Amino acid sequence: MPATACARANVALVKYWGKRPGPLNLPAVGSLSLTLAGLEATASVGPRAAGAPAFMSAGQAVEGTAARRMEAFLERLREFAPGAPPLAVEVGIGFPVGAGLASSAAIFCATAAAGLSALGLSRDRRELSRLARQGSGSAARSVFGGLVEWHRGRRPDGEDSFAEPLAGGDNWPLAMAVAVIEHGPKAIPSRDAMEHVAQTSPFFEAWIAGQDADLAAARQAVGAHDLTALGTIAEQNCLRMHATCFAARPPVMYWRPGSLAVIDEIRRLRAEGVAAWFTMDAGPQVKALCLENDLEVIATRLATVPGVQAVLRARSGAGVEMIEGAPPWS
Ligand code: PMV
């Protein structure tokens, strides 16, 4: 029964920010992302021994909200196999957790794949994406490699809210340099921030209203392999998302002085002719979108910026893979 899967983090270029009501974790907007090699999580799922924790990470029992969320997700998986024993998951993760590097996307995606495999179930990747979404929204996108679009969908049952690889995204050697400003968990988890911002930010409606145009422009840029167009949309979309946060009451501020210094440096690089565009998520880290060939130059420069603790180098990566056990997808 034990099964192990590996999934990578993804970083959105057009952000998921806002939910529709209900328990199915349905997004208020579509989104588009790049899956990253190297930012990996593995999840091993098997039966839960009596008295043992349901969620272990790096050899330690996870407690609190994160544990409750994972337990609920494991129960959700078990609903597909009536009579199966309770499940436990052991997660291994090789990058900073809870700091705006989408660790939850990699963790829940790997857990969904390993869980289905452990239960002996078979589902296509689209269904896996719908399931992963229920653990963490952005996990829906980590099912696939490279450039991925997660469709918002309209149906209340969430059947039309899944991710899939983006047309024209193949054979485009994209990469990201990730400037880590702060290790350690973020001040406000994205899930809580999203809800608070939706309820209190006067800019939230405008954010939602602008998303379809950004998605259409990003799709077109991907189809044409136009990095300038994609990077420009990514920066504008990121700034609009963070503007909703700044305007919330009380405000949500993920930015640190180091974040702004990295953004300045990316703009300077661009003025010098190096193709790099920034994006930020629910944390202070700044990611520079670029071509593989420019990754080293950009990463080396960002490492010199005051406030930068480390720079991770990530190329476009593959979707979820099985390490042990039969793949649940057909
Ligand atoms: O999947 P969640 O609930 O951790 O939300 C992710 C939200 C952002 O990272 C800020 C944006 C995105 O699309 O990944």
Asked if residue 146 and residue 23 are part of one domain, the reply reads yes
Ligand 1 pocket test: pick from 15, 104, 111, 148 the residue with the most ligand atoms within 8 Å of its Cβ.
Answer: 15
Please name the residue whose Cα sits nearest to atom 4 of ligand 1. Answer: 190
Asked if residue 262 and residue 119 are part of one domain, the reply reads no
Ligand 1 pocket test: pick from 20, 69, 133, 190 the residue with the most ligand atoms within 8 Å of its Cβ.
Answer: 190
Q: How far is the CA of 18 from the centre of ligand 1 (A)?
A: 9
Domain membership of residue 134 (yes or no) is: yes
Asked if residue 178 and residue 151 are part of one domain, the reply reads no
Task: Decide: residue 271, CB within 10 A, 0-12 exposed, 13-18 middle, 19+ buried.
Answer: exposed
- Angstrom distance (rounded) from CA 92 to CA 67: 15
Q: What residue numbers bound the domain in which 12 lies?
A: 3-170
Q: How far is the CA of 51 from the centre of ligand 1 (A)?
A: 33
In this structure, what are the phi and psi dihedrals at residue 140, rounded to the nearest 5 degrees? -55, -30
- Give the residue-averaged pLDDT of 121-126: 95
What's the pLDDT at 269? 98
Cβ–Cβ < 8 Å for 178, 314 = yes
Asked if residue 278 and residue 142 are part of one domain, the reply reads no
Global pTM reads 0.96
Q: Looking at 170, 190, 213, which one is the last position of a domain?
A: 170
- Is residue 285 over pLDDT 80? yes
What's the pLDDT at 330? 78
Domain CATH number, residue 138: 3.30.230.10
- Is residue 155 over pLDDT 90? yes
Per DSSP bridges, beta strands 55-57 and 87-93 are parallel
- Give the residue-averaged pLDDT of 222-228: 97
| pLDDT grade for 99, boundaries at 50, 70 and 90 | low
Domain CATH number, residue 294: 3.30.70.890
| pLDDT grade for 235, boundaries at 50, 70 and 90 | very high
Q: How far is the CA of 245 from the centre of ligand 1 (A)?
A: 13
Ligand 1 pocket test: pick from 17, 36, 108, 280 the residue with the most ligand atoms within 8 Å of its Cβ.
Answer: 17
Point out the ligand 1 atom lying closest to the alpha carbon of residue 25.
3
Q: How far is the CA of 189 from the centre of ligand 1 (A)?
A: 10
Alpha-carbon 201 to chain mean position: 23
What's the pLDDT at 96? 64
Q: How far is the CA of 17 from the centre of ligand 1 (A)?
A: 7
Q: How far is the CA of 190 from the centre of ligand 1 (A)?
A: 6
Q: Cα 252–92–182 angle (5° rounding)?
A: 35
Structure tokens at 108: 């829940």
Site residues for ligand 1, CB cut-off 6 Å: 12, 15-17, 31, 102, 104-105, 136-138, 190-191, 281-282
Q: How far is the CA of 16 from the centre of ligand 1 (A)?
A: 6
- Is residue 248 over pLDDT 60? yes
Q: What is the pLDDT of residues 178-215, one digit of tens each?
A: 999 988 766 788 889 999 999 999 999 999 999 999 99
Please name the residue whose Cα sits nearest to atom 6 of ligand 1. Answer: 138
Asked if residue 115 and residue 26 are part of one domain, the reply reads yes
Asked if residue 108 and residue 14 are part of one domain, the reply reads yes
What's the pLDDT at 254? 94
How confident is the prediction for the chain on average, in pLDDT? 95
Asked if residue 224 and residue 107 are part of one domain, the reply reads no
| pLDDT grade for 98, boundaries at 50, 70 and 90 | low
- Angstrom distance (rounded) from CA 150 to CA 33: 8
Q: What is the pLDDT of residues 36-87, one digit of tens each?
A: 999 999 999 999 999 999 999 989 999 999 999 999 999 999 999 999 999 9
Ligand 1 pocket test: pick from 8, 13, 15, 16 the residue with the most ligand atoms within 8 Å of its Cβ.
Answer: 16
| pLDDT grade for 1, boundaries at 50, 70 and 90 | confident
Asked if residue 48 and residue 94 are part of one domain, the reply reads yes
Domain membership of residue 263 (yes or no) is: yes
Alpha-carbon 304 to chain mean position: 27
Task: Decide: residue 125, CB within 10 A, 0-12 exposed, 13-18 middle, 19+ buried.
Answer: buried
Q: Looking at 139, 170, 201, which one is the last position of a domain?
A: 170
Domain membership of residue 330 (yes or no) is: no
Q: HEC string of the chain?
A: CCEEEEEEEEEEEECCCCECCCCCCCECCCEEEEEEEEEEEEEEEEECCCCCCCEEECCEECCHHHHHHHHHHHHHHHCCCCCCCCEEEEEEECCCCCCCCCHHHHHHHHHHHHHHHHCCCCCCHHHHHHHHHHHCCCHHHHCCCCEEEECCCCCCCCCCCCEEECCCCCCCCEEEEEEECCCCCCCCCHHHHHHHHHHHCCCHHHHHHHHHHHHHHHHHHHHCCCHHHHHHHHHHHHHHHHHHHHCCCCCCCCCCHHHHHHHHHHHHHHHCCCCCEEECCCCCCEEEEEEHHHHHHHHHHHCCCCCCCEEEEEEECCCCEEEECCCCCC
Residue with the two structure tokens 């350690």: 184
| pLDDT grade for 97, boundaries at 50, 70 and 90 | low
**The amino acid at 107:** I
Residue count of the chain: 330
In this structure, what are the phi and psi dihedrals at residue 157, rounded to the nearest 5 degrees? -85, 0
| Domains held by the chain: number | 2
- Angstrom distance (rounded) from CA 142 to CA 221: 21
Q: Looking at 170, 186, 219, which one is the last position of a domain?
A: 170
What's the pLDDT at 217? 98
Asked if residue 152 and residue 33 are part of one domain, the reply reads yes
Asked if residue 192 and residue 67 are part of one domain, the reply reads no
Asked if residue 144 and residue 69 are part of one domain, the reply reads yes
Domain membership of residue 180 (yes or no) is: yes
- Give the residue-averaged pLDDT of 230-240: 98
Domain membership of residue 72 (yes or no) is: yes
Domain membership of residue 323 (yes or no) is: no
Domain membership of residue 36 (yes or no) is: yes
Asked if residue 165 and residue 178 are part of one domain, the reply reads no
- Is residue 170 over pLDDT 90? no
DSSP β-bridge partners for residue 42: 6, 92
What's the pLDDT at 182? 87
Domain membership of residue 322 (yes or no) is: no
**The amino acid at 281:** D
